[in-house]
Chains A and B, each alone.
Chain A
């Protein structure tokens, strides 16, 4: 363990922050557009292609994760914390795939063209079917709220470790390199 990395790989860190920003943006765009009359069209036109970008990045991220070594959890994390952290990471990965796929699938089931930008559009993922549309539309909302709740829990845990336990947990994901802290973490 002593020779393992202390930070996630550079690409992992970039993907993490990029996708965090994109997903949070998507959540806010999503809930505000369905409550909006004047901005609905503008927002939904951003929501669709941005969501598909997330799907593409989720594939890149999963492949990247399979081929890189993860830094070990810091010793300040108890066994149960590690289990919860791993489970919530897996759940977040699942949502990064499920949300855009459900979005794409529900528009297919609703018999909509899936417009990206200009003439570019996606083929339907599913056949047109009214009940399927209704179920997927509901699922899209439920998954989005689960994503938001999981994000809040994840953020609380990292803030707790960083601000209260002071174990520099967030440095594992920092965009800058923190090699000079390495000695400290390892001796802790």
Chain B
């Protein structure tokens, strides 16, 4: 009797810890289920930012980052990077559109075997503060089967529930959209902590700012090509290496570090810590970047997470998406090997 109670008690505690007794709580698996319900299941593809192309090159660190962080990526020198440009959304065959959110995920290979992974987008602030906000936005902006467009009433309901998202959207809407991947600025949005050799901590956000102001490629492709944004990027890389400055923005006391929907004041100190050069492009079909999880919390010593709730949530959800897609058969990428070779 006592034995039965003890065993059942431990088993019950285990079931509770595993979330089996709280079927309505939001978990990484349930967020990925939502993405699959809204976008359909596309085996082998990322559950978000499903459409993409892989690139590689190097990062030249100028040493200025060492003031803030002891991470070896900021020691002067050059290190290899692999990266992936993507469009947000869970449909790997979606047609390119100028207002679809663009992503750039980068993996820096540090000299001592450490890695730094970061997944950034071209928005100035995040349109949601938490994973709950993300999931509700995915649900609210799902196309209405009748019109093929998001239901305005549901979007209104979403903004009423998440006023911080309404404010962020206003800011996002007020900024001009760059014309291509090549001239986009990509932002970490979330804050991170930099720890330097003396042990002092700075709260930062980072961005990569394009060196090339206008699209390099002259062959703008017409709207009948559903990969026109990617094809322009590919043509640019074939014509000359593309470059971005890695800019670190340093917070001052009182700047929000746990809310990626709020921009930091424009006068905050910015440090250019080096240049990212992209000189090779490859389809997902052949690149190792396809099977990399650009988890924003794979960080080297000297960079650490902030209290931004998006970071741990993204790490958990990306892992779930990664585990599902790695176990599935692979299907060819919309941006094919033939396309990246041109």
A residues engaging B (CB < 8 A)? 27-28, 31-42, 44, 110-113, 115, 118-119, 121, 123, 128, 130-131, 133-135, 137-138, 148, 152, 155-156, 159-160, 163-164
B residues engaging A (CB < 8 A)? 2-3, 6-7, 10-11, 13-14, 17-19, 25-29, 31, 72, 112-115, 131, 288, 291-293, 295, 297-298, 300-301, 305, 309, 311-313, 315-317, 319-320, 322-323, 326-327
| Other 8 A-B pairs with CB < 8 A, given A31-B17, A32-B18, A41-B311 | A36-B27, A37-B31, A37-B316, A38-B313, A41-B312, A119-B72, A134-B326, A137-B327
Query: Judging by beta carbons under 8 Å apart, are B288 and A128 in contact?
Result: yes
Query: Judging by beta carbons under 8 Å apart, are A119 and B313 in contact?
Result: no
Q: How far is the CA of A112 from the CA of B323 in the complex (A)?
A: 12
Q: Chain B contacts of A44 at CB under 8 A?
A: 315
Query: Judging by beta carbons under 8 Å apart, are B28 and A133 in contact?
Result: no
> Which chain A residue shows the least CB distance to B296?
A41
> Which chain B residue shows the least CB distance to A153?
B7
Main secondary structure, interface of B, reads helix
> Which chain B residue shows the least CB distance to A114?
B113
> Which chain A residue shows the least CB distance to B25?
A35
Query: Judging by beta carbons under 8 Å apart, are B316 and A36 in contact?
Result: yes
Q: How far is the CA of A164 from the CA of B3 in the complex (A)?
A: 9
Query: Judging by beta carbons under 8 Å apart, are A110 and B293 in contact?
Result: yes
Q: How far is the CA of A23 from the CA of B28 in the complex (A)?
A: 24
Q: Chain A nearest CB: distance from B103 CB in Å?
A: 19
Q: How far is the CA of A99 from the CA of B9 in the complex (A)?
A: 24
Q: Chain B contacts of A37 at CB under 8 A?
A: 26-28, 31, 131, 309, 312-313, 316-317
Q: Chain A contacts of B313 at CB under 8 A?
A: 37-38, 40
Contact among B14, B301, B320, B326 for A133, CB-based, below 8 A:
B326
Q: How far is the CA of A49 from the CA of B3 in the complex (A)?
A: 33
Q: Chain A contacts of B17 at CB under 8 A?
A: 28, 31-32, 35
Knowing A34-B28, A111-B288, A113-B115 are in contact, say whether A28-B19 is a contact too (CB < 8 A). no
> Which chain B residue shows the least CB distance to A137?
B323
Knowing A28-B17, A34-B316, A37-B27 are in contact, say whether A131-B3 is a contact too (CB < 8 A). no
Q: Chain B contacts of A41 at CB under 8 A?
A: 297, 305, 311-312, 315-316
Query: Judging by beta carbons under 8 Å apart, are B6 and A113 in contact?
Result: no
Q: Chain A contacts of B112 at CB under 8 A?
A: 119
Closest 6 CB pairs of A and B: A134-B327, A35-B19, A40-B316, A31-B18, A119-B301, A41-B312
Q: Chain A nearest CB: distance from B258 CB in Å?
A: 11
Q: How far is the CA of A75 from the CA of B241 in the complex (A)?
A: 79
Q: Chain B contacts of A119 at CB under 8 A?
A: 72, 112, 114, 300-301
Q: Chain A contacts of B309 at CB under 8 A?
A: 37-38
Contact among B3, B13, B18 for A35, CB-based, below 8 A:
B18
Q: Chain A contacts of B293 at CB under 8 A?
A: 110-112
Query: Judging by beta carbons under 8 Å apart, are B113 and A163 in contact?
Result: no
Q: How far is the CA of A28 from the CA of B114 in the complex (A)?
A: 28
Query: Judging by beta carbons under 8 Å apart, are B316 and A110 in contact?
Result: no
Query: Judging by beta carbons under 8 Å apart, are A111 and B291 in contact?
Result: yes
Q: Chain A nearest CB: distance from B293 CB in Å?
A: 7
Knowing A110-B326, A156-B7 are in contact, say whether A118-B18 is a contact too (CB < 8 A). no
